[in-house]
Amino acid sequence: GAVVSQHPSRVICKSGTSVKIECRSLDFQATTMFWYRQFPKQSLMLMATSNEGSKATYEQGVEKDKFLINHASLTLSTLTVTSAHPEDSSFYICSARASGDTGELFFGEGSRLTVL
Amino acid sequence: GQNIDQPTEMTATEGAIVQINCTYQTSGFNGLFWYQQHAGEAPTFLSYNVLDGLEEKGRFSSFLSRSKGYSYLLLKELQMKDSASYLCAVMDSNYQLIWGAGTKLIIKP
């Protein structure tokens, strides 16, 4: 099956710093990538939809300036958590859908962010 | 509003069969997905149903009734490694996935 790679898998940072998480589709072109946040024992919460070459579409309540998303190519989307605070600590997961495909999503491995 | 309901937690015995139900109310329907998620890991795809009926894939089967807004995931010959959360998700008319909160399945020897 298709492979989506997410990096880093774990990151610990100090409060006030910025952290970048990368999501790559390794063997297919992904025109659309999705970024989720998951709190313990809760379901995935969609943060934003990232389309290659255009601005991301953010879900209600998600701060655009706080969570910067860039989808510069058909195989790479990045999420930057700016000026991170302890409440931003969470499990962040990306997923990708192949071009023209309205079906299965392929998920990255997830990134656990801990802000001290 | 849009809503996906599934039990919070279920317990079953190794070697047995378990059925995890999911009911949904969404704006349109473009398919229902089941994902397995082990603690601390990303979800992995199990099944996709868009037509009514039963889809069988090895030890796992998934059933859909669109008229009832209902699906279930059936796991047979349970193994300890099947202990995980099982997420039900529906793709709505805008091709957005609406996620259930997940069912934590505990397998006992």
Chain-chain contact of B95 with A93 (C-beta, under 8 angstroms): no
| Chain A hits for B102, Cβ within 8 Å | 43
What is the SS3 assignment for A61? coil
Q: Would you say A15 and A33 are in contact if contact means Cβ atoms under 8 Å apart?
A: no
Q: Would you say B71 and B64 are in contact if contact means Cβ atoms under 8 Å apart?
A: yes
Print pLDDT tens along chain A (116 aa).
678 899 999 999 999 999 999 999 998 888 889 999 988 767 788 899 988 888 899 999 999 999 999 988 889 999 999 999 999 999 999 998 776 655 667 888 889 999 99
| pLDDT tens-digit readout, B38-75 | 887 888 889 989 999 999 989 999 999 999 999 999 99
How far does the CA of residue A65 sit from the closest CA of chain B (Å)? 23
pLDDT number for residue A40: 74
pLDDT number for residue A101: 57
Chain A CA closest to residue B44: A107
Q: Would you say A89 and A102 are in contact if contact means Cβ atoms under 8 Å apart?
A: no
pLDDT number for residue B36: 94
- For A65, half-sphere exposure in the C-beta direction (CA atoms, 13 angstrom radius) is 1
Tell whether A29 is within 8 A of chain B (Cβ). no
Question: Could you say which DSSP state residue B77 is in?
Answer: S
10 Å CB burial of residue A60 (0-12, 13-18, 19+) is: exposed
The yes-or-no verdict on residue B85 having pLDDT over 80 is yes
Residue B12: band (very low, low, confident or very high) from pLDDT cuts 50, 70, 90: very high
The yes-or-no verdict on residue B19 having pLDDT over 90 is yes
Q: Is the dihedral of CA A40, A77, A64, A86 positive or negative?
A: positive
Chain-chain contact of B48 with A103 (C-beta, under 8 angstroms): yes
Average pLDDT, chain B: 92
Tell whether B30 is within 8 A of chain A (Cβ). yes
